[in-house]
Amino acid sequence: MHAVYPGSFDPFTNGHLDVVQRASRLFDRVTVAVLVNPRKENRFLFSVEERLAIIREATQHLNNVEVESFSGLLADYMRHKGARVIVKGLRAVSDFEYELQMAHLNRQLNPEVETLFVMAATRWSYISSTMVKEIARYGGDVSRFVPKATAEALERKFGHQKG
């Protein structure tokens, strides 16, 4: 069965990687799908191309994982890919409230799709992309929170050395 793990992944964290790894054990094929939203592109730290490259490097050890971008409705993308499961990581109750609404909407738009919620591993449940960017922006060491590819990209972006 084919599952899709959608998101903005700006930047890709160890929490995201944990969800991908766990999904790759549950499904035959997993697509990490980076949302392209031209109206919000100026709000992202990394371009879509940069995010794709980071995620590809971070997941290269997972043979059944592919990484690509998409635009438009997730329900339509799922139909196009022939995928039946949306994988979403949850860190807290606040994530659940939003993701539950999205799951119901996606189910209405594409009744063939189910959403699977994966609880964040405890060690990553407090990490968010926003927090990682803030730490990196001020020169903090984010290497324990993100894959090596992300840490290196953040160093290039902000010009700081880790440690």
Annotated binding-site members for substrate:
8, 40, 74, 88
Annotated binding site: 8-9, 16, 40, 74, 88-91, 99, 124-130
Q: Please say if 40 is a catalytic residue.
A: yes
User: Residue 12, exposed/middle/buried by CB under 10 A (0-12, 13-18, 19+)?
Assistant: buried
Instruction: For residue 26, list its beta bridge partners.
Output: none
The question of whether 94 is a catalytic residue gets the answer no
Classify the C-alpha dihedral 130-154-64-17 as positive or negative: negative
* Centroid of chain to Cα 104: 20
The question of whether 157 is a catalytic residue gets the answer: no
Which of these is catalytic: 24, 51, 129, 133? 129
Contact yes or no for 161/155 (Cβ under 8 A)? yes
Q: Where are the beta strands (DSSP E) in 19-112?
A: 29-35, 65-70, 85-90
Find the catalytic residue in 2, 56, 84, 91.
91
Q: Which residues 6+ apart lie within 8 Å of 129 measured at CB? A: 8, 9, 10, 11, 12, 13
Length of the chain equals 163
Task: Please name the residue that has the structure tokens 């139909």.
Answer: 79
Residues recognised as catalytic: 16, 40, 91, 129
